């Protein structure tokens, strides 16, 4: 910043006093004042990448905004960039034109696959972008001991990144039972940051004394509230609550009543996980602002929740408001209902107009694709014997990443349990992809409504083994085999045929294709899934969370079915 250089500081003060022309004057604007909670008409002077002042200044360039609304640059408070399938560079290209000028990212997806090297990759690819990406270091790699990940991050590994300028805290403490129980590894990681930097929480459904113990370990935020009363209890205990409106998990409408004058400064709007196609067609935080206003949240409050509140939560200096001396990160909207971004300014430079980036992006570094270590599987690898007993079945919950645990009796053929199309019971398998041991597990899931074929993916939170759901074993085998051949991605299959595929060569999670290309190929894949009978908007996103053993109630990992409420592996048969 300017204060590191005395002459720059003095020059900024001279511009603020009006003794020298500002670089740019954004004139005739409705200025969103997040400090006072009001809109004021005026002009903003920019100098040397900073806001010099509010007023009728002389400037080298004057831009008449003709009454448009100008707000602080938007700050994403919690996101996993990998879930967009975009690299950091492509992610910046996608969201900066929508007014996002900073993002707090948790890279635990790539860390579970690639460990320390994955963290280095994300940080290196985040430099020199028209978007400031800050990272929270993931403490739960792997998330639990009930799955097999590609890497393990120790306390010493996290210490290696302590001095990185864009590392600002500890990411979500997903192993919440271990945390509130006093697990030594979890507490040693929390101790690296406790009292010094922010620590994110992740505690779906946690309440009462265990919530008290969890908070005493250090987590200060939560983005997993699925019920209003849960959010109210956590807020009353001092947590900052994130109202999440992602591509799969959508809690904004449910939690909107939490946001009242007495509580709104402790609330943020975040996306957590956002599909590339949703970024392309709907937007990013501008989309969430539109949804927040529709849910009854005051527009100025909503803007504060993605600017000043986020900046204060993560101790981001000199941003989050329109204030003299702060970074000139700004977004111009047409109004405070549609939130259509007209211009975006980053560090005093105009970087986007009418939803298009107008500055060049740096070249992306070369990366070494990771090979999937999956041996050829036996033809009976996914067979489930009939023991003449019902089985536990995972049931999807619309617009949630939680699932229900139900008991069903699938169909039987030749002594084996098989998918039951009439009752929407579909076989689900997970194949470990790191050790070469070829370990796999099989169970059943309801909610995909597949009529034939299979879908498969190497995006399977958080360990990202191969996961597939299908009607017949042949289609499932084809999906697993093809994912191994292409080094990771997503596929739709029918028998021996590959109907569509989306290669994700970077850790089996991301593509370096431009946003439009990725979205085109993703749409082809989704159309193929639809041909198989699946009506879900994005069945691959729903599939990706079915191996996550820290979100209730029932999940499947390479080690078996996990009862998340009990935090233990349970048998398939009841």
| Three-state SS sequence of 523-535 | HHHHHHHHHCCCC
Termini Cα distance of the chain: 62
Q: How far is Cα 458 from Cα 497, in angstroms, rounded to an integer?
A: 19
Predicted local distance difference test score (pLDDT) of residue 188 = 97
Q: Kindly state whether residues 288 and 428 are assigned to the same domain.
A: no
Decide if pLDDT at 265 tops 80. Answer: yes
Q: How far is Cα 212 from Cα 209, in angstroms, rounded to an integer?
A: 5
Q: What's the whole-number mean pLDDT along residues 395-410?
A: 93
In a domain, residue 480? The reply is: yes
Predicted local distance difference test score (pLDDT) of residue 448 = 97
Q: Kindly state whether residues 419 and 527 are assigned to the same domain.
A: yes
In a domain, residue 498? The reply is: yes
Residue 496 or residue 248, greater confidence: 496
**Reported confidence tier of residue 4, pLDDT bands at 50, 70, 90:** confident
Q: Kindly state whether residues 251 and 131 are assigned to the same domain.
A: yes
In a domain, residue 58? The reply is: no
Q: How far is Cα 439 from Cα 148, in angstroms, rounded to an integer?
A: 10
What range does the domain containing 116 cover?
A: 72-319
Q: Kindly state whether residues 315 and 396 are assigned to the same domain.
A: no
DSSP 57: -
Q: How far is Cα 186 from Cα 209, in angstroms, rounded to an integer?
A: 18
In a domain, residue 370? The reply is: no
Q: How far is Cα 224 from Cα 237, in angstroms, rounded to an integer?
A: 15
Predicted local distance difference test score (pLDDT) of residue 3 = 74
Mean pLDDT value across the chain: 96
Predicted local distance difference test score (pLDDT) of residue 366 = 61
| Helix or strand holding residue 478 (H, E) | helix 473-485
Tell me what percent of the residues of the chain surpass a pLDDT of 70: 99
**Reported confidence tier of residue 370, pLDDT bands at 50, 70, 90:** confident
In a domain, residue 351? The reply is: no
Decide if pLDDT at 247 tops 90. Answer: no
In a domain, residue 7? The reply is: no
Q: How far is Cα 301 from Cα 285, in angstroms, rounded to an integer?
A: 14
In a domain, residue 29? The reply is: no
Predicted local distance difference test score (pLDDT) of residue 365 = 64
Q: What pLDDT, in 10s, does the model give residues 144-153?
A: 899 999 999 9
Q: Kindly state whether residues 305 and 404 are assigned to the same domain.
A: no
Predicted local distance difference test score (pLDDT) of residue 281 = 95
Report the b/e string of 237-270 with b at 16+ CB within 10 A. Answer: eebbbbbbbbbbbbbbebbbebbeeeebebbbbb
Q: Kindly state whether residues 304 and 396 are assigned to the same domain.
A: no
Decide if pLDDT at 362 tops 90. Answer: no
List alpha helices for 295-358, DSSP H.
Answer: 299-305, 308-313
Tell me what percent of the residues of the chain surpass a pLDDT of 90: 94
Q: What's the whole-number mean pLDDT along residues 535-564?
A: 95
Q: How far is Cα 248 from Cα 80, in angstroms, rounded to an integer?
A: 13
Predicted local distance difference test score (pLDDT) of residue 400 = 85
Instruction: Note the pTM of the prediction, 2 decimals.
Output: 0.93
In a domain, residue 338? The reply is: no
Q: Kindly state whether residues 313 and 456 are assigned to the same domain.
A: no
* CATH number of the domain residue 153 falls in: 3.20.20.140
| Last residue of one domain, picked from the residues 319, 347, 363 | 319
Q: Kindly state whether residues 236 and 114 are assigned to the same domain.
A: yes
Rounding to the nearest 10 degrees, give the CA dihedral for residues 493, 498, 500, 503: 110
| Last residue of one domain, picked from the residues 296, 319, 342 | 319
Q: Are strands 403-408 and 454-457 parallel, antiparallel or unpaired?
A: unpaired
**Reported confidence tier of residue 369, pLDDT bands at 50, 70, 90:** low
Q: What pLDDT, in 10s, does the model give residues 81-105?
A: 999 999 999 999 999 999 999 999 9
pLDDT-wise least confident of 125-129, 465-469, 488-492: 125-129
- Three-state SS for 157-216 is HHHCCCCCCCEEEECCCCCHHHHHCCCHHHHHHHHCCCCCCCECCCCCCCCHHHHHHHHH
Q: Kindly state whether residues 439 and 293 are assigned to the same domain.
A: no
| Last residue of one domain, picked from the residues 304, 319, 334 | 319
Counting Cα atoms < 13 Å in the Cβ hemisphere of 526 gives 17
Percent helix, percent strand, percent coil in the chain, to nearest 5: 30, 30, 45
Q: Kindly state whether residues 128 and 240 are assigned to the same domain.
A: yes
Q: Kindly state whether residues 295 and 165 are assigned to the same domain.
A: yes
Predicted local distance difference test score (pLDDT) of residue 181 = 96
Question: What's the full length of the chain, in residues?
Answer: 574
Q: How far is Cα 528 from Cα 240, in angstroms, rounded to an integer?
A: 41
Instruction: Report how many domains make up the chain.
Output: 2
Q: What pLDDT, in 10s, does the model give residues 186-207?
A: 999 999 999 999 999 999 999 9
Q: What's the whole-number mean pLDDT along residues 530-550?
A: 95
Q: What's the whole-number mean pLDDT along residues 354-364?
A: 87
């Amino acid at each position: 910043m300017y204060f590191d250089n005395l002459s720059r500081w003095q020059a900024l003060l001279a511009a603020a006093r009006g003794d020298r022309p500002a670089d740019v004057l954004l004139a005739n604007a409705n200025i969103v004042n997040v400090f006072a909670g009001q809109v004021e008409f005026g002009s903003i002077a920019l100098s040397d990448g900073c806001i010099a002042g509010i007023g009728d200044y002389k400037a080298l360039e004057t831009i008449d905004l003709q009454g448009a609304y100008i707000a602080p640059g938007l700050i994403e408070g919690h996101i996993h960039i990998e879930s967009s399938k975009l690299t950091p560079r492509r992610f910046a290209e996608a969201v900066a034109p929508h007014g996002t000028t900073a993002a707090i990212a948790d890279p635990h997806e790539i860390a579970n696959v690639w460990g320390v090297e994955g963290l280095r990759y994300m940080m290196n690819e985040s430099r020199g972008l028209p978007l400031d990406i800050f990272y929270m270091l993931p403490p739960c790699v792997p998330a639990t001991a009930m799955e097999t990940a590609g890497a393990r991050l120790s306390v010493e590994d996290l210490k290696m990144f302590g001095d990185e300028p864009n590392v600002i805290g500890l990411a979500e403490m997903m192993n919440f039972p271990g945390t509130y129980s006093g697990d030594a590894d979890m507490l040693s990681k929390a101790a690296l940051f406790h009292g010094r930097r922010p620590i994110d929480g992740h505690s779906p459904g946690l309440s009462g004394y265990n919530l008290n113990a969890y908070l005493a370990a250090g987590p200060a935020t939560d983005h997993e509230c699925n019920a209003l009363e849960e959010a109210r209890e956590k807020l009353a205990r001092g947590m900052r609550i994130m109202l999440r409106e992602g591509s799969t998990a959508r809690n904004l409408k449910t939690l909107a009543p939490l946001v009242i004058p007495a509580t709104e400064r402790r609330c943020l709007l975040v996306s957590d996980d956002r599909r590339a196609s949703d970024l392309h067609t709907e937007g990013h935080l501008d989309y969430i602002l539109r949804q927040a206003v529709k849910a009854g949240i005051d527009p100025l409050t909503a803007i504060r929740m993605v600017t000043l509140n986020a900046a204060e939560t993560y101790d981001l200096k000199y941003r989050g408001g329109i204030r003299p001396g702060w970074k000139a990160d700004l977004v111009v909207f047409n109004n405070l209902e549609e939130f259509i971004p007209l211009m975006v300014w980053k560090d005093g430079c105009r970087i986007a107009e009418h939803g298009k980036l107008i500055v060049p992006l740096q070249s992306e570094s070369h990366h070494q694709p990771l090979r999937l270590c999956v041996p050829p599987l036996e033809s009976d690898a996914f067979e489930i014997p009939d023991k003449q007993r019902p089985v536990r079945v995972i049931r999807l919950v619309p617009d949630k990443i939680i699932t229900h645990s139900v008991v069903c009796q699938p169909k039987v053929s030749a002594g084996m349990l098989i998918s039951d199309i009439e009752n929407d019971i579909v076989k689900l398998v997970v194949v470990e992809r790191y050790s070469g041991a070829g370990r796999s597990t099989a169970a059943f899931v309801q909610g995909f409504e597949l009529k034939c074929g299979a879908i498969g993916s190497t995006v399977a939170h958080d360990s990202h083994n191969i996961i597939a759901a299908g009607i017949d074993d042949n289609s499932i085998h084809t999906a697993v085999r093809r994912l191994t051949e292409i080094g990771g991605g997503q596929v739709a299959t029918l028998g021996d045929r590959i109907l569509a595929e989306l290669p994700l060569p970077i850790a089996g999670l991301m593509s370096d294709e431009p946003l439009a290309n990725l979205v085109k190929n993703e749409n082809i894949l989704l159309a193929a899934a639809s041909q198989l009978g699946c009506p879900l908007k994005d069945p691959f996103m729903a599939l990706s969370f079915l191996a996550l053993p820290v979100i209730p109630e029932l999940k499947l990992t390479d080690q078996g079915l996990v009862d998340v409420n009990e935090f233990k592996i349970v048998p398939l048969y009841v």
